[in-house]
Copies of this chain bind each other. A is one copy, B any other.
Amino acid sequence: MTAIQDSYPDDLAWCYGCGRLNPAGHHFRTFWENEGTVTRFTPSKDHIAVPGFVSGGILAALVDCHATGTAAWAAYRADGREPGTPPPHRFVTASLRVDYLKPTPLGPELIARGSSTSVSGRKVTVTYTVEVAGVVTVRGEAVCVEIPEPMRPRAP
């Protein structure tokens, strides 16, 4: 099964959250499943807020990359083509909202689920939740945009 991050061009695949080429990163991977996106991640014992619970910063990092991955999936689907076919879609986050509904226990796998609520030109709006052991503990919304020209790597 292909993750959207597998379709990111090599020079845009270094994200600390989801870049497959970043050796120190989290390697979040976002799949299309049943008409929406899914990113699974099991935090390490270090990813604590207070003992027993997941850090809000790690949860924000997860939904950030999950949102840009969801935006890319939505853009390919709006185009009627498969991820990896040219030209590549690669989104970054313009605005992120994270509502921490309840504490997220540390230990079990986290499951982020997402869907796009609008695809308009270079902009995709995404909503998401994070659940753990069947309970939704986080929800939010992000506005993602195709990577702007100043962030594109320069030819060497």
A interface, CB within 8 angstroms of B: 11-12, 14-17, 19, 22-26, 44, 46-53, 55-58, 60-62, 64-65, 92-100, 102-103, 147-148, 150-153
Contact = CB atoms under 8 A, between A and B. Distances in A.
13 contacts: A14-B48, A24-B44, A50-B153, A53-B151, A55-B61, A57-B57, A57-B61, A60-B60, A93-B98, A94-B100, A95-B100, A102-B150, A103-B148
Contacts of A99: 94-95
B49 A151 contact: yes
A95 B92 contact: no
Number of copies: 2
Given A60-B60, A93-B56, A14 B150 contact: no
Contacts of A153: 50-52
Given A25-B46, A48-B22, A50-B147, A17 B55 contact: yes
A56 B103 contact: no
Given A24-B46, A48-B14, A64-B60, A98 B100 contact: no
Contacts of A47: 16
B100 A51 contact: no
A19 B57 CA distance: 12
Contacts of A150: 102-103
